[in-house]
Amino acid sequence: MIFNSIIKKLPKHLKSFIVDQHYENYTALDHAVWRYVMRQNINYLGKVAHSSYLEGLEKAGISIEHIPSIDEMNGKSAAKVGVSLFIIRLEKIIAQR
């Protein structure tokens, strides 16, 4: 995981919830499901959502063809607009309740 300057500023207790994406663990089936869901989204939302939705997907580097890599997105578009993307483990948050 790329710890960019935004993630580095998070309080230590919040960083403990961040986990790596492990992109290499996605299967062909995972990517096929992604393609199906994204095609459905774009087909429907392309008709009813604001045009900025489709533009935003493109600018964020979110492809229909494969599950996005969080590290790639952070390295490209997210850093340009001052945001950082990361994955959290909900089980960790729930367990602390």
Domain containing 83 equals 1-21+69-97
Please tell me whether residues 33 and 63 are part of one structural domain. yes
Distance separating alpha carbons of residues 7 and 86, to the nearest angstrom: 8
What percentage of the chain reaches a pLDDT higher than 70?
Answer: 84
* pLDDT given for residue 71 in this prediction: 82
Distance separating alpha carbons of residues 4 and 66, to the nearest angstrom: 23
- pLDDT at position 2 over 60: no
Confidence of residue 74 (pLDDT cuts 50, 70, 90): confident
Q: Residue 59 corresponds to which tokens in the numbers above? A: 């600018």
Please tell me whether residues 58 and 36 are part of one structural domain. yes
Tens digits of residue pLDDT in 17-56? 888 899 999 999 999 999 999 999 999 998 999 988 888 8
Amino acid at the residue 25: N
Please tell me whether residues 76 and 58 are part of one structural domain. no
State how many domains the chain has: 2
